[in-house]
A and B are shown apart, each in its own frame.
Chain A
């Protein structure tokens, strides 16, 4: 028999209590695993496709508000700007709005492909086809795989924002190419099609653009160029807000709220509750074993060894809950990655960093919850323990 065997047997002395505690710790780590992984995926998604010398100009009120198309040329003329392109959020879906929504932008193919060549990788033939076909669309590989789309196929893409003059809400688009990302983990769940094709057929908001992407001569000039752009449109009916691309992407993905803050608050609340539940239960469990601790010390177990065993029990308990919670969240995340909503975040699988952070958190939780009973076992005199138990 080893110290671990003894710790294990003590942990399961009251199986129902241990199971209930494990379940509560499991829930906390399930929340931690899922929310933290989502947050990491969000960071990754906002970083992918972002370049340090790119800025995004949007309406100052909100990026869902549009700006006049004329802004594109005015922005291009500002000193320090080397290239511009523009895009409109389309609210795209395929067949069923409830289950098959995805990211869809109407773009200017020529300037878009010049700037985002690396982020949307196509063969030369596909790129050429996209530039020349008015109804052409390029689709991300994940999306194409999900719906079984092939190059050359014509697909109806609908919008939950726009409709055509003829009353239709869908646009027939011919797949010019299927793009991959710069890295295998980059999300490829979007489509890009011709701005002109949309602009000429929609019934409202014509000649408006949603955002303008600006390439600066160097990242050092970003601040200066951003200020110049916003100053240029100050006091106009559509004032602008210009930020670097990463900031914009994150803000765009975080439309539901400040996920970082939400994750921190929810995870903290879950762990605070668990901390109290587990520590109170462990204190009372150790009190039940006061006499046994006295006996062990009488037999010659040193106080530090008893302390290690009590702490070990708390760490083992939290680690059990953590492994189950993190394992289950990894399983759920894998499933979520395959869902339409989840796949827009790119690779949702749990990263080793999240898993290791979770395990480190489990050890810390165990040490904190075990600290009070362990210290009381350390300090308890044999006579007191044998008399009290």
Chain B
């Protein structure tokens, strides 16, 4: 397996008023193609910052971030936006669907950033919704769907443009156990059957069990690795 993501000596500091808070001081991480990594850790350990750096929604102060052989830490905002659209699928804790759009339209959103024809877009949306088992709810608005169904739509949105990499921020944090297991099963399926590389931040040890390995982050340092 080859490395999809590599973080080399990444440093990140936040300023809060006059105070500087160091989150990472030389973080190194390698995630292989097809890996499914859960990241756990207490609040303030740097999980969300790591997720933001991996997703190109925040910038490191120094160090290298490589994705599929491309160094992305030097990208400007426009290049990063294009890279995210091509390469990353995002799944949020609270689904973050657009309330004015129905399920199919929500799933189609990332395809608006491609040059696909309308017909091809419709086909991709159908495929993505069928993968998550919600094609029959394509015309429903988010408020007409349960939490689990909304998260499935969010997963369909994340995979519709066929990115290599999925970033999940507490994807089951707002769901009951059974629904959470369904969602995690879907993620596992995407990893095993479609080869998607997944990084999932979670507080839930049950959720972490679905991953291939778990990294425990504490005060900006990987303290433990569970296989």
Task: List the interface of chain A (C-beta within 8 A of B).
Answer: 1-3, 6, 9-10, 12-13, 291-292, 295-304, 382-383, 386
Among A2, A6, A303, max chain B CB count under 10 A is at A6
Given contacts A291-B96, A302-B78, contact A296 B109 (CB under 8 A): yes
Asked whether B123 is an interface residue with its Cβ less than 8 Å from the other chain, the reply is no
Q: Which chain A positions have C-beta within 8 A of B105?
A: 1
Choose from A10, A13, A299, A383 the contact partner of B109 (Cβ within 8 Å). Answer: A299
Q: Which chain B positions have C-beta within 8 A of A12?
A: 100
B77 and A303 contact, CB distance less than 8 A = yes
CA distance A299 to B159 in the complex (A): 11
Q: Which chain B positions have C-beta within 8 A of A13?
A: 99-100
B101 and A9 contact, CB distance less than 8 A = yes
Main secondary structure of the interface of B (DSSP, over half): helix
Asked whether B108 is an interface residue with its Cβ less than 8 Å from the other chain, the reply is yes
Q: Give per-residue flags for B76-98: 1 if the beta carbon is below 8 A from chain A beta carbons, else 0.
A: 01100111111000101000101
Closest-CB distance, B113 to chain A (whole angstroms): 5
17 further interface pairs, Cβ-Cβ under 8 Å (given A9-B101, A296-B109, A299-B113): A1-B101, A1-B105, A3-B112, A10-B100, A13-B99, A295-B96, A297-B81, A298-B57, A299-B84, A300-B110, A300-B113, A301-B112, A303-B78, A303-B81, A383-B52, A386-B92, A386-B96
Task: List the interface of chain B (C-beta within 8 A of A).
Answer: 52, 55, 57-58, 77-78, 81-86, 90, 92, 96, 98-101, 105, 108-110, 112-113, 157
CA distance A386 to B98 in the complex (A): 14
Q: Which chain A positions have C-beta within 8 A of B98?
A: 292, 295
Closest to B104 in A: A1
Closest-CB distance, B59 to chain A (whole angstroms): 10
Main secondary structure of the interface of A (DSSP, over half): helix
| Inter-chain contact total with CB atoms closer than 8 Å | 63
A382 and B57 contact, CB distance less than 8 A = yes
A383 and B57 contact, CB distance less than 8 A = yes
A299 and B110 contact, CB distance less than 8 A = yes
CA distance A382 to B51 in the complex (A): 13
Q: Which chain B positions have C-beta within 8 A of A386?
A: 92, 96
Q: Which chain A positions have C-beta within 8 A of B96?
A: 291-292, 295, 386
Q: Which chain B positions have C-beta within 8 A of A297?
A: 57, 81
Closest to B99 in A: A13
Choose from A6, A295, A301, A383 the contact partner of B81 (Cβ within 8 Å). Answer: A301
What 8 A-B pairs come out closest when comparing CB atoms? A300-B85, A382-B57, A9-B100, A300-B84, A295-B96, A302-B81, A13-B100, A300-B113
Among B58, B109, B110, max chain A CB count under 10 A is at B109
Closest-CB distance, B169 to chain A (whole angstroms): 9
Q: Which chain B positions have C-beta within 8 A of A292?
A: 96, 98
Q: Which chain A positions have C-beta within 8 A of B109?
A: 1, 296, 299
B85 and A1 contact, CB distance less than 8 A = no
Closest-CB distance, A255 to chain B (whole angstroms): 54
CA distance A301 to B109 in the complex (A): 9
CA distance A383 to B92 in the complex (A): 13
Closest to A11 in B: B100
Given contacts A1-B105, A383-B58, contact A298 B90 (CB under 8 A): yes
Q: Which chain A positions have C-beta within 8 A of B84?
A: 298-300
Q: Which chain A positions have C-beta within 8 A of B86?
A: 300
B90 and A299 contact, CB distance less than 8 A = yes
Among A291, A300, A301, A304, max chain B CB count under 10 A is at A300
Closest to B125 in A: A1
| 19 CB < 8 A contacts A-B | A1-B101, A1-B108, A9-B100, A12-B100, A13-B100, A292-B98, A295-B98, A298-B55, A298-B84, A299-B90, A299-B109, A299-B157, A300-B82, A300-B86, A301-B81, A302-B81, A303-B78, A383-B52, A386-B96
Closest-CB distance, A110 to chain B (whole angstroms): 75
Q: Which chain A positions have C-beta within 8 A of B101?
A: 1, 6, 9
